[in-house]
Structure 1
Amino acid sequence: MKGIGGFFKDINRNKVLLLMALPATIWFLLFSYLPMAGMVIAFKDYRFSRDGFLASIVNSKWVGWQNFKYLFSTEDAYIITRNTLLYNIFFIIVGLVLAIVMAIILAEIANKRLAKVYQTGMFLPYFLSWVIVGYFVFSFLSYDRGMINHIGGWFGVDPTQWYTDKTYWPIIIVLVFLWKSVGYNSVVYLAAIMGIDRSLYEAAMIDGANKWQQIRNVTIPMLKPLITILTLLAIGRIFYADFGLFFQVPRDSGALYPVTNVIDTYVYRGLKATGDFGMTAAAGLYQSVIGFILVMVSNYIVRKFDKDNALF
């Protein structure tokens, strides 16, 4: 075992790398690990007092699992859990496939200036807030002034009440999410493709491989470690939903709750109506614990098949 001297020698030898990691370490300590102490609110009937936040937590009454019982004993518990899981599963699978496809297409474009233009156009939606995206979608779906109903009127099609008809909203939610996120996600895979040794493609061409065979036998296998890591991280957040997507885009329409209400929006509305911080904390703790378990189980399965591609 190394002594204290060896420990400080390692620090001195890696001081540049440690200094580079210091900002991220401080960020995680302040915003990820330090707030963990607040999860005790999930087991209390939290009541804010003028004595301060910490005093309010200490003086609040213990209620055990009551907050969790309230969260999942309602008739909406099945709906919000189902919606959160199914949407995220679809986002992970379809988003992964489209991001890889778009990255491969961009990498194969011979005109690099044109590729940069396409890449910028795909990347731009990621920087738009969900409020702006919500109004953008509204400009298409508005009953009286929406573009879709307006164009449909030219062909004698009756206008649709998009914000009261839940039939099409699962498709709309998925399309809006993919439009906003695929361009950003494809950049990660594009960077990985650019880092692949070109001699591998040259060897494949010498062996007579066409473009599809090069992608299947060189590009995809080289992307496999990155795909595995990003998928495992996405699985860890499978019980989290993008609040802006499910709240701003449907414009908080009650008629659409059966297909747009997820855990995050349900908790927000509950907090807004009742001010129950304990229930909110219980939902956050539930999401975090389930996500942690899913990451551990998924990582264990990956290690069984390919140890090198696992997170740890």
Structure 2
Amino acid sequence: MIEIRSVGEEAGSITPSGSPSRGSASFLTTLKKNRQFLVMLIPVTVYLLVFNYAPMAGLILAFKRYIPALGFWKSPWAGLSNFKFLFVSGAFGRILFNTVFYNVIFLVTCQALGMMVAILISELRLRKLNNLLHSLTFFPYFVSYVVVGAIVYNIFSYEFGVFNNLLEAWGAEPVNVYQMPNVWVFILTFLNSWKWVGYTSIIYYTTIVGIDPELYEAAEIDGASTLARIWHITVPYLKVTLLTIVLFQLGSIFKGQFDLFYNVIGNNGQLFEATDVVDTYVFRMLITNFDVGLGTAAGLFQSFFGFLLMMIVNGVVKKVRPQYALF
């Protein structure tokens, strides 16, 4: 059979000897056109390689019994013994539950409050008041957890805390909050929300600002109330942002906020039942036993299963609502 091809197809298929193909030429042209941006990416790329990718070589310690005298490579292999010790530990089930529990609570409260704050600020028509509210809600994000821990201690200290001073002034008996594990679920949730709601609200606020104003104008002309406009216009747009944040947060669902828990709770064993998370548990193991292999195994466990969970949920979202999936 004779294959008939048009002149244009034949001409397009001919590439002079020694000259680059159309695809490579286009790629080189794109690089040349965007060379300024590529140069700007060099510091970021170096940072990622040095601080994010190079340390991955340390994952090998999860499968070794690290001995400082022998060094990184000469330490004997331990197989899966570090993971076995981690899983058979009587405390691991409790700390894993605490970690996931707090992350879920933190995620729900931060996203809900952040969304409400963003909607509230967007509905205010006074620019100066908007800027003031943004500043007030965002300020806690810059406060160090060391400072937060000191403030909390000065409030709830049994000897000189403000809370007990108020109780005594009202004729009540002082209470030792640092011996009441269940109370700290609410305290830690409040502290996390106080610190992160402002940051989260800005993310949602940028989404709201990007909504076409004509949608609100049309709804207002049709007689829609403020709540109706928020529910039928603003919230649907925020769903995409919410789902994106949730998918990213699932990647760290097995990681506790070490800064928060350690600086606020410290090494108070009476509160470990309700406040101990994987990161603080591993930190104590490193301090007391210098067990680097166990710490690396815990970190690998957190990262692997967090990534796996994120991929599974993203796959489900992609099948149900493809437009909401990350990739």
TM-score class, shorter: over 0.9
Partner amino acid for 1:217? H
Q: Does 1:48 align with 2:68?
A: yes
Q: What residue is the counterpart of 1:52 in the other structure?
A: none
Matched position secondary structure for 2:175: coil
Q: What residue is the counterpart of 2:150 in the other structure?
A: 135
Partner amino acid for 1:287? Q
Q: What residue is the counterpart of 2:11 in the other structure?
A: none
What is the CA-CA distance between 1:22 and the residue it aligns to?
A: 3.6
**Cα 1:282/1:255, change in 2 over 3 Å:** same
Q: What residue is the counterpart of 1:159 in the other structure?
A: 174
My pick for the range that moved more, 57-66 or 30-39, is: 30-39
The residue correspondences of 1:114-133 to structure 2 (distance < 5 A) are: 114-133=129-148
Q: Match for 1:70 among 75, 85, 93?
A: 85
The residue correspondences of 1:209-224 to structure 2 (distance < 5 A) are: 209-224=224-239
Q: Hey, what's the Cα distance between the residues in 2 that align with 1:272 and 1:156?
A: 43
Matched position secondary structure for 1:163: helix
Q: Match for 1:261 among 276, 279, 283?
A: 276
**Cα 1:261/1:16, change in 2 over 3 Å:** same
Q: Match for 1:188 among 197, 203, 212?
A: 203
Bigger radius of gyration: 2
What is the CA-CA distance between 1:25 and the residue it aligns to?
A: 2.8
Partner amino acid for 1:307? P
What is the CA-CA distance between 1:183 and the residue it aligns to?
A: 1.0
Q: Hey, what's the Cα distance between the residues in 2 that align with 1:44 and 1:123?
A: 44
What is the CA-CA distance between 1:184 and the residue it aligns to?
A: 1.2
Matched position secondary structure for 2:179: coil
What is the CA-CA distance between 1:2 and the residue it aligns to?
A: 6.0
What is the CA-CA distance between 1:291 and the residue it aligns to?
A: 1.0
Q: Hey, what's the Cα distance between the residues in 2 that align with 1:45 and 1:6?
A: 52
Q: Hey, what's the Cα distance between the residues in 1 that align with 2:226 and 2:247?
A: 29
What is the CA-CA distance between 1:14 and the residue it aligns to?
A: 3.3
Partner amino acid for 1:171? F
Q: Deviations over 1:194-220 (max 9, x none)?
A: 121111111111122111111111111
Q: Hey, what's the Cα distance between the residues in 2 that align with 1:195 and 1:223?
A: 11
Q: What residue is the counterpart of 1:4 in the other structure?
A: 24
Q: Hey, what's the Cα distance between the residues in 2 that align with 1:227 and 1:107?
A: 17
Q: Hey, what's the Cα distance between the residues in 2 that align with 1:29 and 1:212?
A: 48
Matched position secondary structure for 1:258: helix
Q: Hey, what's the Cα distance between the residues in 2 that align with 1:178 and 1:163?
A: 21
Q: Hey, what's the Cα distance between the residues in 1 that align with 2:84 and 2:132?
A: 52
What is the CA-CA distance between 1:270 and the residue it aligns to?
A: 0.3
Partner amino acid for 1:182? V
Q: Does 1:306 align with 2:300?
A: no
Q: What residue is the counterpart of 1:37 in the other structure?
A: 57
RMSD of equivalent CA atoms: 1.6
Q: Hey, what's the Cα distance between the residues in 2 that align with 1:2 and 1:82?
A: 56
Q: Does 1:27 align with 2:42?
A: no
What is the CA-CA distance between 1:115 and the residue it aligns to?
A: 1.9
Q: What is the TM-score with the length of structure 2 in the denominator?
A: 0.90
Q: Hey, what's the Cα distance between the residues in 1 that align with 2:51 and 2:185?
A: 33
Matched position secondary structure for 2:303: helix
Q: What residue is the counterpart of 1:234 in the other structure?
A: 249
Q: How many residues align?
A: 307
My pick for the range that moved more, 167-176 or 271-280, is: 167-176
Partner amino acid for 2:120? I
Long gaps (5+) in structure 2: 1-20
Q: What residue is the counterpart of 2:35 in the other structure?
A: 15
Partner amino acid for 2:90? E
Q: Does 1:107 align with 2:122?
A: yes
Q: Hey, what's the Cα distance between the residues in 2 that align with 1:295 and 1:167?
A: 30
Q: What is the TM-score with the length of structure 1 in the denominator?
A: 0.94
Q: Hey, what's the Cα distance between the residues in 2 that align with 1:24 and 1:103?
A: 31
Q: What residue is the counterpart of 2:4 in the other structure?
A: none
Overall identity of the aligned pairs, in % = 38
Matched position secondary structure for 1:180: helix
Long gaps (5+) in structure 1: 50-54
Partner amino acid for 1:211? T
